[in-house]
Structure 1
Amino acid sequence: LEQLQQSQLRLVQNEKMSSLGQLVAGVAHEINNPVNFIHGNLSYLSEYAENLLSLIRLYQEECPRTSPRLQAAIADLDFEFLIADLPKILGSMRLGTERIREIVRSLRLFSRMDEAEKKQVDIHDGIDSTLLILQHRLKPKANQSEIQVKKHYAALPLVECYAGQLNQVFMNILVNAIDALEEAFRSAPGLEAAVRQKAWGVSSQPSTPQIHICTEQQGDRIVIRIRDNGPGICEDARRRLFDPFYTTKPVGAGTGLGLSISYQIITETHGGSLDCVSAPGQGAEFIIQIPVRMAA
């Protein structure tokens, strides 16, 4: 009965992720069209603005004498500032649209969840798209410094996999790391140093929350390591991490299915392995190994 319940919950979770993938893909498409329109026209707008400014400069040189009314209008307009600021505004608009296009690209990569067929993909694209979606969780907050992400990417071949499912694994592991770092590094007013140090079980905690992501190829397998410098996990919790419904989070903060589903995706679907190395005070490292080519 328990196994049946686990299977049903996994099916529900997979269906939710598939629906999320379709939703994200649709939103990305709707955003992409108008952004491409704006981005494409900005180059013309910049060219037209520069031509108009050049014409005005030429007019000032050829006709230096102006009426008092025109002089007053130029003064009210702060024309010299306008000439200097307009290109900057257009440049910032171009950067803004490029940023939106980057986000849309990441959403499209991440939304591969609804793809049913295995494909050859760049693993780094999946990791980067997941990080971009989680960017708001990494930024500094009122009571916490920025979570730094250090990427150590090796040159990897394209990997045959179910890209959307792998992105779900990256998301689950990274969210767990961020949750642990947020809880451990939260600097609430009046929090005693001894209380903060207790979480690490050592004399002092690290000064900056960090996540390190390393990739490498070992023979016919790809290895992805995701490590944080949080308080770590005790041995009893580490052994149960991939058990369905097991969670160390408060009630309502987690289902206990994220790592269990991730383990199933890596081991059963991709024929790989997912392990966790951790100890109190030493952070946690998740090690993903998957074959470059999936078994037929």
Structure 2
Amino acid sequence: MINSSSSFVLIVDDNPTNLSILSKTLKSANYKIRMAVDGEEALAMVAYAHPDLILLDVQMPKMDGFEACRRLQADPATQGIPIIFMTALADTENKIQGLSLGAVDYITKPFEPQEVLARVKVHWRLKQLADTLEQRVAQRTDELEKAQLQLVHQEKLSTLGQLVAGVAHEINNPIACVVGNVSAVEDSINDLFDLIDLYRQQFPEPGPTIEASLNTIDLEYLREDLPKLVKSMKDGGDRIVSISQSLRTFSRADSDKKQKFNLAEGIDSTVLILRHRLKANNLRPAIEVIANYGDVPEINCFPGQLNQVFMNILANAIDALDAACVGRTYEELEADPGRIIISTSRSIDLSTVKISIKDNGYGIPNSVKSRIFDHLFTTKEVGKGTGLGLAIAKSIVEETHNGKLICHSAVGEGTEFAIELPV
């Protein structure tokens, strides 16, 4: 049983009798009716409220039905409305013209009301089926895109995690050996200097050969410089240990269940991995990263996936700051260097945490901002962007973690990505 009570049919005819008959016939079948007496009035009415179907007379004053149909079909907003022509012009040529303009059917005058009703019901039903099919196709397409994003994300995260974890593991053993032995080397050097001092006390006249050797090696310089070298080696080893720990933090494998995670540690590990891109080069000074971490608790999440979100957003911020250097002198950039401000805070009701990552680049035009989370959309050159990074990030934040990922940006004011996550 077709429910036509919510369907709206527009009848366009300059004959009052035809309008009356058609109106009564369709109202008896529970269709909602509006009427127009020429093509111009019909177009104005369609612009005001889209009908589900149009019964359109061909021969009318001001604008005939063919021209009205042509204009309706030329507008993407109205080209999907089924149009049934009504005319006394029953010759094949006129029928072909009407159908070629996009009409779905042709009713010859004088018409039989029940035939009109039957044709309206058929084409209304076909329109409903077409709309349903279109919705299902769009839904399935969206589901396929999300599935593809998830597969790409899982593969990308798995490969990156295995690589980073492997590197961290390979670094860990040799650096542990170096760091562990530096203190022993330092003690041994101090013992050797003490022994040399003892020899000097026991043998104040060592002889010309030893004196010459002492002058050659500059013992006093060695005594001052060697501890500095050892300390530098120890600091370097500690730095590598810190990097190794950050790599392990970044590459944490996610289990099937969410885990407690310190957001600051994840962000810091990501910044450390990107540190080489933040350094000064021949095009610009170093990009400054300012971290303002609030009193935010650990949250239940998938740490590896969130680290991937931080990586995508921070990498895009660096790309934006690099792009903002074009056309500016090094002196200008030194006066106003690139800057990324990262902050975390908690909502007033304590139910969510917010991570803000903001840069002072050029900002994003509205035409681009509306599409940055779209699947496969990218403004980067071929080979430099896949259009998956932000789409994956949005999926991780909103679908996996029930949060929100929002972009605030205006040209000349920089860009901020705000991530809200439930505690």
**CA-to-aligned-CA distance 1:221-277 (integer Å, 9 cap, x gap):** 110000000000111211111111111112221011100000000000001000000
- How far off its partner does 1:115 sit? 4.3
**Amino acid in the other structure paired with 1:79:** L
Q: Which residue number corresponds to residue 291 of structure 1?
A: 422
Partner of residue 39 from structure 1, selected from 179, 184, 187: 179
- How far off its partner does 1:206 sit? 7.4
- Which stretches in structure 2 are left out of the alignment for 5+ residues? 1-139
- Which stretches in structure 1 are left out of the alignment for 5+ residues? 197-204
Q: For residues 9-48 of structure 1, what are the structure 2 equivalents within 5 Å?
A: 9-48=149-188
For 1:179 and 1:147, locate their aligned partners in 2 and report how far apart those are by CA, in whole Å: 11
Asked if residue 266 in structure 1 is aligned to residue 406 in structure 2, the reply is no
**Amino acid in the other structure paired with 1:157:** P
Asked if residue 120 in structure 1 is aligned to residue 260 in structure 2, the reply is yes
- How far off its partner does 1:13 sit? 3.3
Whether the 8 Å CA contact 2:254–2:302 is kept in 1: the answer is no
Partner of residue 344 from structure 2, selected from 205, 215, 218: 215
- How far off its partner does 1:207 sit? 1.4
- How far off its partner does 1:38 sit? 1.0
Q: For residues 59-78 of structure 1, what are the structure 2 equivalents within 5 Å?
A: 59-78=199-218
Asked if residue 138 in structure 1 is aligned to residue 269 in structure 2, the reply is no
Q: Runs (4+) of structure 1 moved beyond 6 Å? A: none
For 1:89 and 1:136, locate their aligned partners in 2 and report how far apart those are by CA, in whole Å: 25
- Of 142-151 and 115-124, more deviation after overlay is shown by 115-124
**Amino acid in the other structure paired with 2:337:** T
Q: Which residue number corresponds to residue 53 of structure 1?
A: 193
For 2:370 and 2:292, locate their aligned partners in 1 and report how far apart those are by CA, in whole Å: 28
Name the structure, 1 or 2, with higher relative contact order (CA <8 Å, separation 6+).
Answer: 1
- How far off its partner does 1:114 sit? 5.0
In structure 2, relative to structure 1, the CA distance for the partners of 1:116 and 1:39 (3 Å cut) is farther
For 2:378 and 2:335, locate their aligned partners in 1 and report how far apart those are by CA, in whole Å: 25
**Amino acid in the other structure paired with 2:363:** G
Whether the 8 Å CA contact 2:258–2:301 is kept in 1: the answer is yes
- How far off its partner does 1:78 sit? 1.3
Whether the 8 Å CA contact 1:112–1:163 is kept in 2: the answer is yes
For 1:174 and 1:134, locate their aligned partners in 2 and report how far apart those are by CA, in whole Å: 8
Q: Sequence identity, in percent?
A: 47
Q: For residues 153-192 of structure 1, what are the structure 2 equivalents within 5 Å?
A: 153-186=293-326
- How far off its partner does 1:61 sit? 2.5
For 1:77 and 1:2, locate their aligned partners in 2 and report how far apart those are by CA, in whole Å: 76
For 2:415 and 2:319, locate their aligned partners in 1 and report how far apart those are by CA, in whole Å: 12
In structure 2, relative to structure 1, the CA distance for the partners of 1:17 and 1:184 (3 Å cut) is same
For 1:60 and 1:206, locate their aligned partners in 2 and report how far apart those are by CA, in whole Å: 57
Whether the 8 Å CA contact 2:150–2:392 is kept in 1: the answer is yes
Partner of residue 257 from structure 1, selected from 366, 383, 388: 388
Asked if residue 277 in structure 1 is aligned to residue 417 in structure 2, the reply is no
The secondary structure found in structure 1 opposite 2:266 is helix
**Amino acid in the other structure paired with 1:235:** N
**CA-to-aligned-CA distance 1:110-142 (integer Å, 9 cap, x gap):** 111554432101100000000000000000000
For 2:414 and 2:174, locate their aligned partners in 1 and report how far apart those are by CA, in whole Å: 44
- How far off its partner does 1:189 sit? 7.3
Q: Which residue number corresponds to residue 31 of structure 2?
A: none
